[in-house]
Amino acid sequence: MAIENGYLLRVFVGESDRYDHHPLYESIVLKAREHGLAGATVTRGLMGYGKNSVLHTAKILRLSEDLPMVVEIVDSLEKIENFLPILDHMVSDGLVTLETIKVVHHRP
């Protein structure tokens, strides 16, 4: 087992946000893969709000959904910093955070 420093990039967007006619969260993951980033995961939030304080929630009788989506990308600082200008071009409204993490590799 090896432990090393890494970085976690989080991108908070809405489920209905689009980039080039595709879901923004999907476009971000595909672009991250295209640029060789180590890994990306998308999770859907059940409830949340952003800077405009508009509440987004999953309700049974609601016909249209715009739930919060979080894209998490893990890699080295250099690769993440190289990806930030691309992300800046893609995300017109959303929150992006970056934090230092410890990456634990489990290998046989």
Give the rounded percent of residues in the chain with a pLDDT score beyond 70.
90
Q: What is the pLDDT of residues 46-94, one digit of tens each?
A: 888 777 777 777 665 554 577 899 999 999 999 999 999 999 999 998 8
Residue of higher predicted confidence among 108 and 100: 100
Residue 63 DSSP class:
S
Q: Residue 33 has what pLDDT?
A: 98
Q: Are 22 and 98 in contact (CB under 8 A)?
A: no
What domains, with CATH codes, occur in the chain?
2-105 (3.30.70.120)
Q: Residue 26 has what pLDDT?
A: 98
Angle at 11 between CA 84 and CA 49, to 5 degrees: 145
* β-strand partners of 13: 69
6, two tokens: 């890494």
The yes-or-no verdict on residue 5 having pLDDT over 80 is yes
